[in-house]
Amino acid sequence: MFFTTSSLLALLGSTLASPVERATTPKVIDNCTKKGTVALTFDDGPYKYEQDVVNALDGGKGTFFYNGDNYDCIYDRADDIKALYDAGHTLGSHTWSHADLNKLSESEINEELEKIETAFVKILGVKPLYFRPPYGNLNDKAKKVLGERGYKKIFLWSDDTEDANGASSGSSKKVLDGVAKDYPNPHLVLDHSPIKTTSQKVLPHSVPKLKAAGYSLVTVGECLGTDESPYKKVGSPQKKDSSWKC
């Protein structure tokens, strides 16, 4: 068979591109896989209720997907973030400003991610490798950028308490009651830590029910049965200075 130079280059390009793309494109996760586990995840923080959420988990572990400048400036909550990190909760990226990635250019997506990553490095000395897209919106362009930046997994969810959409605490409780009744099937639940009723009413009701049903409340990594790190170590935590602002 005869190949022209251009056709041979095209063939080589297509052959080489696919493995690279497969190796760098983060996997999109919409549910846990390990039986008997529930991953309660909390978006849109940090805010003043982070510790209340942790207390309501009653020894369970949560996953928190943080913005840089949403309900509060991430730098103003550095102590809370360090406490959650040290306690073994998983912290991930949710963009800097809760931006809809589908509406951004590639350079704008990079800027959103760069700013939140910089905050993680300054506060914790690590870069997050787990990501949740605001509104659950994620196109191929965004996945490409996330892959190029080294993200390992993109997390959606299997169950939504709708707390950020104005759902009553009773409605959110019903969602988690349904999860408790589904033991031992795994669940990946979307909550929002800045919503006061989540930590004050919903979790105090639902966490004991989930545990009584037999569920372990674990991080997203644990509910997938993986021991990979959700972070890339980048030096050491830095001392607060004038650059710590939103």
Catalytic residues: 43, 192
**CA pair distance 88, 179, nearest whole angstrom:** 24
Residues 208-214: contacts with CB within 8 Å, 24+ apart?
Answer: 208/58, 209/176, 209/177, 209/180, 210/38, 210/176, 210/179, 210/180, 211/58, 211/60, 212/180, 213/180, 213/181, 213/183, 214/36, 214/183, 214/184
CA dihedral angle for residue 176, residue 165, residue 30, residue 158, rounded to 10 degrees:
30
What count of residues does the chain have? 246
Give the residue among 245, 216, 183 at the shortest CA–CA distance from 57: 216
Q: Is 214 left (phi over 0), alpha (psi -120 to 50) or beta?
A: left
Contact in structure between 50 and 193 (CB atoms under 8 Å) = yes
